[in-house]
Structures are given as structure tokens and as C-alpha cells.
Amino acid sequence: MIKPKLLLSTLIISGLLAACSEQGDKSGATQESDSPTAIEQTSQQDGNTLLAEWSGSYQGVPAFDKVKLEDLKPALEAGMQQSLAEIDAITNNPEPANFENTIVAMERGGKILDRIFTYWGIWSSNVSTPEFREIQKEMAPKLAAFRSKINQNTQLFERIKAVYESEEFKSLSADKQRLVELTYDGFARNGATLSGEPKDRYAAINQKLAELHPQFANNVLADEENYVLYLTKEQLGGLPESIVNAAASAAKSRGKDDMYAITNTRSSMSPFLSYSTERELRKKVWETYYNRGDNGDEYDNNAIIAEILKLRHERVQLLGFDNYAQWRLADRMAKNPENAMNLMKSVWPAAIARVKEEVADMQQIADNEGLNDKIKPWDYRYYAEKVRLSKYALDSDEVKQYLQLDKLREAMFYVAGRLFNFKFTPVKEGSVPVFHPDVKVWEVTDLTSGEHIGLWYLDPFARQGKRSGAWATSYRSHTTFDGKTNVLSSNNSNFVKGQEGEPTLISWDDAETYFHEFGHALHSLSSKVAYPGLNGGVRDYTEFQSQLLENWLLTDEVINNYLVHHKTGEPIPKDLIDKIKAASTFNSGFSTTEYLASALVDMMYHTTDPKDMDADKFERDALASLNMPEEIVMRHRSTHFGHIFSGEGYSAGYYGYLWAEVLTADAAEYFANSEGGFYDKEIAEKLVKHLFSVRNSIDPADAYRAFRGQDANVDALMRARGFPVENKQ
């Protein structure tokens, strides 16, 4: 199952400015300092907590309970000033450039901004307010200008280049060489080689994009907040008790005690479309969700998309690239747009062929029930559930009764213990500050030695001001180059909270998402790298580790111990598990096609000259050229495709989920066919050693070969999705 993720900040500058991503990587780890900077000393006097070093146990933790939004602007300005002073210290060093006085010095920089951006990420994603959005709008171009000052600092780049081309470089260890290479490429690919007018224009484009990306995201959030469908009891036809209870809870939290709320998020929309017998209401919920950012009002994103694409295209042309996708993929596993498109197009025909079969099965049931109409997009989930029940006697709501959020969390901890030797222990309430009462915190230790590894924060529930979707992030990453720092990792979801005193029940897809995002957290917690700049990742690879973890949801150990009925406590029956496994590839046409359509259109956007771009028309024409089934839409229509338009983390890179899933399917077969199955001790040790702990300190292709002993190919993916595998003999 493809799980979306959303990048919040897109430019990583070797530890000087940490990017907070839905995937969960930060380039700069916050280090403890023996002597606070002048700015940190000032913060102690003026009370600006955002500038202060983190204090308390666990090497210090974010002061979520003390920070004030009004301090954000002055903190950012002070943090940028401090970082530029650190750069000046590096460039003014009279000694010849070497690894220690240039690359390592850069890795030590940006501590204050690192901390500030942890708070920025929370205000942006978890507890957004109109007041924050105004500050974000004002500060985004200033931050872009700051980034350009660093990226286009000729003296700094010359020192980096000198290290990159030095004899010293050849004698460095492999991880240090990779750090130098990543630093050099990061600058070279972001305008450091430019001069004169092109250099100025490059900086101006970045500044404008910094304004447009959050504007796009905030428009989507506005539509999610502004559109809520309130239902009466008479309009609840077909909805299972768990969905009715969740809708009642959502309405109550909005002051509508006697009504039921369907919010404009996927976690609310999808189950409603699956069960509601009210076709007109299904259509209304579907249209509201898929028209986010496309309503012709002040929050419409079409013009913003066109401007973003034009600016990106112009910017990469300054660097000598034909199109944005060429630039984006040059340092990724795919290497170029052609390779990415070839992979997607190798899967696309099987996906849309399966959709045709799925629609035929649904249409037969709809005809028998007297629909007198063709299956429409708002009917797909509804009749798919009927087909699932007919073909496999599998009722998704029956499965849901065994999927309690708290028990699934315990299952994830169990898997982490078996594979990673991690133990999760809840911290004493109040001992670690949190930004919302829903957030809980666990200490992570080594099961054998008791060594402290880090903290894990969990923010599981949907609420106003929180962006939709599910994501992982890290407030602090593991490093050892200046003393060992522990990890502060976080998972964030949008599950609809159960009624007071009742457990939160989630769907099977949501349970997979839960495991998926926890995989990102484990990736962060497993890190053994020395330098902050090696804690990042290659975008079309970093989803692999998290996708892989989804496979443990269906292991016997999890099934028998954690999938228990929320009322009786009885384990999920074997016959129900057999039905789940038998139906594991059911609806794979829908899930693959809605994802691939988004990934293909993303690549088409970024390989096309955007002159005279009309996003609505481009989307329609692109899908028509792909023979997109009319019963399905893109998983993320252009106007709310935050992965590619609210930042640049996934732009021309949404294909990466599929690229990573090729590795996922191959690795899953490796476990499944081993003597110990998914808990095979030897393979688990190789998994942690070669794929999790190394982060970005080694080329991903080399890392996978070290784990698997061979490269992966697409056949395992096709088998996993139940598609025919081409006979190559």
C-alpha cells in the first residue's frame, strides 16, 4: 500500500538548516554545548525560549510547554544571524581548507535554527493557526534569501571544493568521503556555481517559491478546515457503529452535540464512501474532498501551480538542465526521468487492466441492486466493499473490531523488540513537555544493555489545525562526531478518536499506515552515523524501510497476541485472517492506479515546458493520454498534491514510493522464504546493519546489495500486487 508523505521544508544545507519532512529526516542534529552562544545567553535574559538550549533529561528536550508564537520571528532572525556568523568564521579561517575546519565546522553549525525549526514544524503541521500562517507568509521569503546567502557563498563553496578535490579526500574514511560528496553536490546543484545575473535570478526564484509553497499548503488546509459535512441520524444509513461513533465524536468536538461530522480528510472520507447507502451524500463527500484547492475561490491553487512550475523550470535551466525532473533525479536511485517512467509504465497496463476487472464485478452487483447507472468515482469504494464481501466473505468493519489503536502500538513495540532489540517504556506523565494533550512519549532503550537510545513521540488523532495524512519526523538525530547524541523521533497521524471511554478502532489500511510510519521512526532510532549530514536519505529509497515494516502486521505473532476484539478480548479468528490473506491483492487495481496516476502526472508536469500552463487542463489531458479509467481519480489531484507543490521534497519524485516498493517486495520475499520467516534472526541483523543503521552514509544500491546479495527487480512487486509476471525466457 502506498502511503503518502509530505515534505515541509525542502532545502538542506549540511546541518545549517534542518529540513522537517513527513518522511522524517533532519539533516542537522542538535548538539549539546559546553558554552552557550551569545544569542543563547541573550535568550536566557529576554525569555525567548525558542533560542534556548533544550534542557531537562534525555540530553534536553523541546520546551513545547513554554515556547510562544510571538517569539518566532525574532528567534528566526537571531538564528539566521548566528548561522551567517558561523559561516563567516569558516570562510575567514586563514588556514587552508580541510575536512575538519570546513566540513566538520559546517556540521557543527546551525544548532539554534535546528531547534527553532523543530517548533516551526509543529506549528506548521500539528497545531497550525491563522497567526502562525501570517508569520510563515512573512518569514518564508526571508528564509529563502538566507538560504541563498549560504548556497551562493563563493568563498564557502571554494573551501568545500578544495576539500572535495584534495589529496586529503582520498585518505578519508568512506563515510567522511560521502559527507564531502553530499556537501559539494548539494551546493553545486543549488546555484553555487553561478555568478552575476544568473546567480541573482536563482536566488530570486528561490525566494518566490518560498512564498508559494506554504501558500499552496495553507490553501489546502483551509479547505480541509472549512468543509465539514454535518449529518443527522436519518442520514447515517449503512454506516457501521464504529464510524457513527467517530463521526459523533468529531461533531461534538466542534460544538455540534446532536449531529455527526464527516470531516474533509481521507481518514473520514474513505470509510464514509465505503459504507454510506446515501449516494448523493457520497457524491458530496467525494467532491468536497477531491476538489480541495480547486473551488475557484480565494483558496484556489491552479494559478499557484502554474507559477511554481514556471519558476522551477526557469531555475534548473540556469544550471544547464532541460527540465526540472532531470535536475531532481540526477542524485537519486533512478538517475533520470526515463528510468522512473519506464518503471511506472511497466506496472501501469496491469493496474488499469485490473481496474477494468474490478469495475465489471462491481457493476454486476450494482445492476442487480437496480442502480441504473454506471459506477462513478464516489461509488467505487462502496461497491468494492460489496464485492469483497461477495468474493471473500470479508467484511472490513468486522476486521476493524480487532484493530485497536493501542493494541497495534503494542504490536509495533513487539516487532521493534524482535528485530531491533528496542524496548519502549512510557515516560512519567509531565516529565517530557508535549504540544498537545493527545501526545504521548516513550523512552527507547536497548533490550539487552539497557542503553538509552532516544524518545518516541506519538500524536495520533485528527483535530483542527492539523494537516491531514500521516508522517514521521525527528526533532534530533543520532550523531557521534562531537559526543553521542540520542534521537528524538515522532510519528503523527489523523485517526478519528473513539468516543470517550471507548478504544479507537481503525481500518486495515490505516493499520498498515501505522506500521509504515513507525518504520520511519525505527530508521531514525537505528542510526549509527557520525555526522548530521548523513542522517538524511535518497528520496526514492527512504520509503523502502517503512514500506517493508508493513509486512509484520500479518505475522502470526502479531495476529495471535495483538489483534483482539475490543469488547471480548478474543483473538481475531483464523478464518477471518485467512480471508484477509486471500483478499490481500483485492482492489489492487484501484490502489495502484490512483497512486500511479499521481506519480505519472507529477513526472509529466516536471518534464514539460510549463509555458501557458493550465493545471486543470494539463491534468485532464495527461490522464486521458494514459487512458485513465473514468471510475478513478488521482490519489492526489493537482490542486491538493502537497507532496509536489507545498515543497520540493517529492516534486518529480512521487514515483519513489514505487521504486522503493520494488526493494520492499524483494526484501519481503527474502524474509518470507527464510528458515525463520519474518523474525529470522540472521536476516534481521543484516537488515539493521546494512539498511537501517547506515542511513545515508552509503550509496543505497550498495547498501541493498550488502543486505540481499543481489539487486532487486520488478517481478517481486508484480507478485506482491497479484499482477501477472512477464515470462522473460
Say yes or no to pLDDT of 18 above 60. Answer: no
Question: CATH number of the domain that 82 lies in?
Answer: 1.10.1370.40
Please give the radius of gyration of the chain, using alpha carbons only, rounded to the nearest integer.
Answer: 25
Note whether residue 132 is domain-resident: yes
Q: List, for residues 174-209, the tens digit of each pLDDT value.
A: 999 999 999 999 999 999 999 999 999 999 999 999
* Judgement on whether residues 275 and 210 belong to the same structural domain of the protein: no
Per-residue confidence (pLDDT) for residue 499, from 0 to 100: 86
Q: Is residue 685 scored above 60 in pLDDT? A: yes
Mean pLDDT of the chain: 92
Beta bridge partners of 454: 444, 487
Nearest to 91 by CA among 27, 679, 83: 83
Please say if the pLDDT value at position 104 is more than 70: yes
Q: What is the pLDDT of residue 267?
A: 86
- Looking at the structure, do residues 123 and 272 belong to the same domain, yes or no? no
407 belongs to a structural domain: no
The answer to whether 517 and 452 are in contact (CB under 8 A) is no
pLDDT bucket at 641, cuts 50 / 70 / 90: very high
Q: Which residues contact 372 (CB under 8 A, 6 or more apart)?
A: none
Please name which of 345, 322, 328 lies closest in space to residue 610, comparing C-alpha atoms: 322
pLDDT at 467 over 50: yes
Helices (H), 333-404: 337-368, 380-392, 396-400
* Assigned domain for 504 exists: no
Q: Say whether both 206 and 231 belong to one domain.
A: no
In a domain, 359, yes or no: yes
Does 13 score more than 70 pLDDT? Answer: no
One domain for residues 114 and 204: yes
47 and 168 belong to one structural domain: yes
Same domain, 88 and 142: yes
- What is the rounded CA–CA span in Å between residue 169 and residue 637? 46
CATH number of residue 701's parent domain: 1.10.1370.10
200 and 253 fall within a common domain: no
Q: Note whether 313 and 265 are same-domain residues.
A: no
How far apart CA 477 and CA 523 sit, in angstroms, is: 11
pLDDT (mean) for 203-228? 94
Average pLDDT for 2-10: 28
pLDDT for the residue 15: 30
- My answer on whether 75 and 176 are in the same domain is yes
Q: Is residue 661 part of a domain?
A: yes
pLDDT for 155: 97
Q: Is position 182 within any domain?
A: yes
- Report the percentage of the chain scoring pLDDT > 70: 93
Would you state the cell numbers that stand for residue 190, as one nine-digit string? 543549488
At 536, list the grid cell. 538524511
Residue 681, in any domain of the structure? yes
456 located within any domain: no
The larger pLDDT score, comparing residue 288 to residue 13, is at 288
Residues 134 and 48 in one domain: yes
Element (H, E) at 440: strand 440-446
Q: Which residues are catalytic?
A: 517
Domain that holds residue 207: 38-220+304-329
Q: Is the pLDDT of residue 41 over 90?
A: no
Chain center to CA of 430 = 28
Kindly state whether residues 66 and 214 are assigned to the same domain.
Answer: yes
Instruction: Output the CA angle 560-425-537, nearest 5 degrees.
Output: 85
Is there a contact between 400 and 245 (Cβ–Cβ < 8 Å)? no
As for how many domains the chain has, the answer is: 3
Residue 727 predicted with pLDDT over 70: no
DSSP conformation class of 499: P
Segment 90-112 mean pLDDT: 97
Residue 31, pLDDT > 60, answer no
What mean pLDDT do residues 691-712 have?
A: 96
Mean pLDDT of all residues in 643-654: 94
pLDDT at 29 over 50: no
Contacts of 478 (CB under 8 A, 6+ apart): 29, 454, 484, 485, 486, 487, 524, 525, 527, 528, 529, 535
In a shared domain, residues 209 and 324: yes
